[in-house]
Each structure stands twice: as C-alpha cells, then as structure tokens.
Structure 1
C-alpha cells in the first residue's frame, strides 16, 4: 500500500496516542473527523495498524527486573522449534521472543518481580527444557531510551 503524507502523519499521531479521537486527528491533519476516521479504518483494514495497547508501568506492577536472555538449542529441527515456541507462549514473564542469527537461536525479553524469579525462570524452566543447550542472560540496569514508535516514512 502506498502511504500518502497524510497517512504517514496519521500513523505518527496514533503511535503517540492510540486513543486520539477522530476529532483530534482531524484537527491535527486538517481533515474532517469523518475523513480522518476513514483513513484510520483503511490503515486498520490493510493491516498497517495491527491494534492498540495500553503502556503499563512495570514498577507499578511489581516487575523490577528486566532481562534479555539468549537461548541456544541443542538441536535444530521443526519439532524442537515447535516445542520451544510452545513454551515461550505459555510464560507471561517472557514478553518478546526473536529468532536470531549467530550463536544464540533466540533472544527473549523478560520481566520478573525479582532476581529469584529470574533465576527460577532460567534454571527451572529454560535450562530444564530438553531442547535447550545454553542460556546467557543480561540484566537491564537502565533504559536511557524508551521503546520508541516505529519510524514512518
């Protein structure tokens, strides 16, 4: 889908405030609220906008430890990948999973209430899984840049 400059501006606005009303979007885009809303609906229908989420404060939820965990599998094949992916989907503390090139097969972003919970996740869940050969974790000390909106060109 070719994006017009108005669509690009609309996407930028919605990434900053997914709850913006059609009235607010229309004012920012110099469009009527109905025109702004139709553009938003078209972007949703074309799967450019995949959904809307609330950003939550991890500290307010008792999640004080964020870590990135690299996982290397012992063997590679469709069955091993499926089994490991199934495990990833069952664990709420694993918030993102990426498959990687290089030494690690997967990179996991995890949130835990404390170091003991992270330790249990690594030792009792990940390392205990039959397809996992190696785990390497890095604990986040600070996040100087928050997760940013995607660049829209």
Structure 2
C-alpha cells in the first residue's frame, strides 16, 4: 500500500459517499486509476464496506451502555454459546473478547433505561457461563470513532 492508497483511505474514512471524480481530485489522480485503486482496496478487503453513521436517539437506540462480562466457566462450548447469543442480539451493537479480566466488553444500544433494565434481566443475566456483569454508562462522549490514523 502506497501513499496514494493511504490518501484514498483517509478521504473515504471521512466521507464514504464521495463520487469517484471528487475522490480522484482530492488524491490528485485521474478518475480511472483512482477507481482501479479503490476496487483493488475493496478486493483486498482493506475497505470492508460502506455505511451511514446514525444518530442513536433518532432511531430509538440513544441509551448506550458498555457491559463488561466475566465468565464463571470458559470451556469451549460455553464460550461458543455465549458468543453466538451475543452476536445474534440486535441490542448488542459491538462485542469484543478480551485478554484477562473482564472476558468480554459489549456495547449495548436500546431506547432508554427501562429498556436496558429489561434487556439486562431477560437476556444478559441468562447468558451461558455468566460469572459477573457490570454495566458502565457513559457520562459524555469525548471522541467519536474517526477511523484509523493513516500517517506514513
């Protein structure tokens, strides 16, 4: 990957809806080679997809909670069952398996506090192998995901 590819990626991270002509102009290429490079980055799965960033409150998902999970049992079957359930739940918008403790970090997005309480008691509390659940509510968003730094 060269500096032009990195410039393409930087621009697309900021605005994935750029037309090829606008992108080419910004990275100082003609449209045809710019498009070839974008298509190659897509084939190589450097660019994994495109999507709109939504306002959670506008789509009834404005209440977000980070949940740390410690499993009491970490055998293969329990971990697989836990991961399958978590991955299938639309309320869980992001999930990470971690080294050490806690074992998992989940980002849950629901309408409001009563919706989270229901999700917590009806879904999270019944997850297989559960040892401990801790809910963390964000006081303030300081920095949103800005994409990956592409210096150098």
TM-score if structure 2 supplies the norm length?
Answer: 0.95
Detail structure 1 runs of 4+ shifted over 2 Å in the superposition: none
Give yes or no for the alignment of 1:34 onto 2:32.
yes
**How many pairs does the alignment contain?**
151
Counterpart position of 1:23 = 21
C-alpha contact (below 8 Å) 1:68/1:137 kept by paired residues: yes
Counterpart position of 1:54 = 52
1:112-134 superposed Cα distances (whole Å, 9 cap, x missing partner)? 10111111222211112231111
In structure 1, the gaps of 5 or more residues are: none
Match 1:136 to one of 134, 137, 143: 134
Q: Distance in 2 between matches of 1:78 and 1:29?
A: 47
C-alpha contact (below 8 Å) 1:122/1:135 kept by paired residues: no
The SS at the match of 1:127 is: helix
C-alpha contact (below 8 Å) 1:10/1:25 kept by paired residues: yes
Counterpart position of 1:12 = 10
C-alpha contact (below 8 Å) 1:65/1:140 kept by paired residues: no
Instruction: Quote the RMSD (CA, aligned, Å).
Output: 1.1
In structure 2, the gaps of 5 or more residues are: none
Q: Mapping of 1:26-105 within 5 angstroms?
A: 26-105=24-103
Q: Distance in 1 between matches of 2:120 and 2:7?
A: 42
Q: Mapping of 1:119-134 within 5 angstroms?
A: 119-134=117-132
Q: Distance in 1 between matches of 2:81 and 2:13?
A: 34
